[in-house]
């Protein structure tokens, strides 16, 4: 009896997930926009910003983020590939974009976008952040949205200047722009990207077990997780690149971790044109890592276990392999030989980096509901 019930619940859950995806993928005409009566609080206006109506801008950004009208065929929204329940990443190796085109790399989690150091400054939206994308080809979130042809071809929009006209024809946009811009309902590319940026940067995950532990709650991590933490910081020095303990979660710069002896994707090398940067990719944030499989820039690893097997004994002798991942004496790729019990503890620790509030927070969810 109990078994049957749980199967029904799981079936219902899957059906709900499927319909939710349909929602974001379907033409927005088939859906209805539902926003809360009072503007949700994305930012604390008085202490964080002097940017007027920042919460109204983020609200509008949420609508744009989930709206298929931002793509040429009205079918692909940002959320098609950046799904809230998956830490704003995608659960397949390459995501499907405009007309079935596949992305060249694995979708990135866009929570806690890098550049959070400048995040709390007044002019964050004007401020370029640290390099974006796996290869660092863009530095400013705002430009990233404004330059779809060079940076985000998945939506089929070659020229971002066509969007304002297109969105003006949808009845719900002019009032939302008026709210965000002091009564002025004009839609411009600049405003579109400012609002999407305001929404993106508001997506912050700071409510993990590790955050609680670092804030002084000694009971937040259990003994497995604590042992995993020690292995992460000391024995295997993952912290050397993934700066989890400092709360920063990333490290600037690009690194070759020896995935392939011969590069199939030169990564940052295509941006700098230096052969010494070939095969180097951004150090990913490990926040919500339990939700963002598959892993690496090309999504080659299905599980965290696969990732640990790479560090354990899979590192290849690639030309630009980071020195930390080389054996000092032999100059050969390091073999960490991570034991099965160490793996369990490391994975327990990695699982403690999930913020379940963020992935279920209604203010980050799809505002389009099917009728
Ligand atoms: C078809 C899938 C797809 C769609 C649609 C899509 N993205 Fe992405 N996004 C990706 C992939 C894949 C990457 C990594 C690309 C790379 O590094 O080459 C990415 C990377 C990003 C990044 C960089 C994150 C970082 O940490 O550097 C941001 C920000 C982003 N997307 C925001 C958006 C926004 C905003 C939209 C809607 C305007 C959008 N994406 C639409 C797949 C998609
Ligand atoms: C020398 C720097 C460095 C060290 C040390 C390092 N990593 Fe990484 N890690 C990276 C880079 C760079 C990537 C992305 C590589 C790519 O996709 O090409 C990555 C990717 C990952 C990913 C996949 C993230 C994603 O979003 O796909 C996980 C998980 C991970 N590392 C965990 C670890 C663990 C656990 C350790 C310690 C055993 C460790 N890393 C040590 C630099 C490092």
* pLDDT at 122 > cutoff 50: no
CB 355 within 8 Å of CB 84: no
CB 67 within 8 Å of CB 28: yes
Do 228 and 328 reside in the same domain of the chain?
A: yes
Q: Which ligand is nearest to the CA of 203?
A: 1
Do 180 and 89 reside in the same domain of the chain?
A: yes
Predicted structure pTM score: 0.90
State the residue range of the domain holding 88.
36-205
Give the gyration radius of the chain's Cα atoms: 21
Q: Has residue 118 been placed in a domain?
A: yes
pLDDT value, residue 355: 94
CA distance 278 to 269: 4
Report residue 56 CA to chain centroid gap.
22
CB 167 within 8 Å of CB 173: yes
Q: Is the CB of 307 under 6 A from ligand 2?
A: yes
Looking at residues 222-235, what average pLDDT do you find? 98
Question: With b meaning 16 or more CB within 10 Å and e meaning fewer, what string describes 25-56?
Answer: ebebeebebeeeeeebebbeeeeebebebbbb
pLDDT value, residue 50: 64
Handedness of CA 102, 103, 104, 109 (dihedral sign): negative
Q: Which ligand is nearest to the CA of 324?
A: 2
Q: Which of 171, 205, 239 is the last residue of a domain?
A: 205
List all residues 6 or more positions away from 173 whose beta carbon is below 8 Å from its beta carbon: 63, 167, 187
Q: Is the CB of 112 under 6 A from ligand 1?
A: no
Q: Please write the tens of the pLDDT for every residue from 5-17.
A: 333 333 333 333 3
List all residues 6 or more positions away from 104 whose beta carbon is below 8 Å from its beta carbon: 94, 265
Do 215 and 341 reside in the same domain of the chain?
A: yes
pLDDT value, residue 119: 44
Q: Please write the tens of the pLDDT for every residue from 238-280.
A: 999 998 887 665 566 899 999 999 999 999 999 999 999 999 9
Q: Is the CB of 266 under 6 A from ligand 2?
A: no
pLDDT value, residue 190: 87
Q: How far is the CA of 242 from the centre of ligand 2 (A)?
A: 7
Number of domains in the chain: 2
- Quick one: which atom of ligand 1 is closest to the CA of 113? 26
Out of 87, 210, 242, mutate this one to test ligand 2's pocket (max ligand atoms within 8 Å of CB): namely: 242
Do 72 and 200 reside in the same domain of the chain?
A: yes
Q: Tell me, what CATH number does 172's domain have?
A: 1.10.760.10
Q: Is the CB of 82 under 6 A from ligand 1?
A: yes
Do 247 and 331 reside in the same domain of the chain?
A: yes
Residue 93: other Cβ atoms inside 10 A: 19
């Amino acid at each position: 009896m109990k078994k049957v019930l749980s199967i029904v619940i799981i079936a219902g859950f899957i059906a709900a997930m499927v319909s939710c995806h349909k929602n974001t993928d379907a033409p927005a005409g088939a859906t209805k926009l539902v926003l809360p009566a009072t503007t949700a609080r994305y930012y604390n206006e008085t202490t964080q910003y002097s940017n007027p109506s920042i919460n109204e801008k983020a609200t509008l950004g949420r609508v744009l983020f989930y709206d298929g009208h931002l793509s040429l065929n009205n079918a692909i929204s940002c959320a098609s590939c950046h799904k809230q329940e998956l830490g704003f990443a995608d659960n397949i190796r390459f995501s499907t974009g405009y007309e079935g085109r596949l992305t060249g790399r694995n979708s990135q989690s866009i929570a806690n976008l890098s550049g959070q150091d400048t995040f709390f400054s007044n002019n964050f939206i004007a401020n370029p952040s640290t390099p974006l994308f796996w290869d660092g080809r863009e530095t400013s979130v705002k430009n990233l949205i404004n330059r779809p042809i060079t940076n985000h071809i998945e939506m089929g929009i070659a020229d971002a200047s066509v969007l304002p006209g297109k969105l003006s024809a949808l009845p719900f946009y002019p009032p939302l722009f008026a709210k965000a811009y002091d009564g002025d309902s004009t839609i411009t590319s600049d405003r579109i990207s400012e609002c999407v940026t305001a929404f993106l940067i508001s997506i912050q995950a700071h409510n993990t077990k590790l955050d609680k532990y670092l804030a002084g709650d000694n009971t937040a991590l259990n003994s497995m997780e604590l042992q995993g933490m020690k292995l992460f910081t000391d024995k295997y020095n993952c912290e050397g690149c993934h700066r989890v303990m400092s709360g920063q979660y990333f490290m600037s710069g690009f690194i070759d971790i020896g995935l392939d002896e011969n590069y199939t994707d030169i990564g940052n090398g295509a941006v700098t044109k230096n052969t010494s940067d070939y095969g180097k990719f951004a150090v990913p944030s490990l926040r919500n890592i339990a939700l963002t499989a598959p892993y690496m820039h090309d999504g080659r690893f299905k599980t965290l276990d696969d990732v640990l097997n790479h560090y354990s004994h899979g590192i290849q002798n690639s030309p630009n392999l980071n020195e930390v991942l080389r054996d000092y004496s032999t100059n050969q790729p390091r073999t960490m030989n991570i034991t099965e019990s160490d793996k369990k503890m490391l994975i327990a620790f990695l699982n403690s980096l999930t913020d379940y509030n963020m992935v279920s927070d209604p203010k980050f969810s799809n505002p389009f509901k099917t009728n």
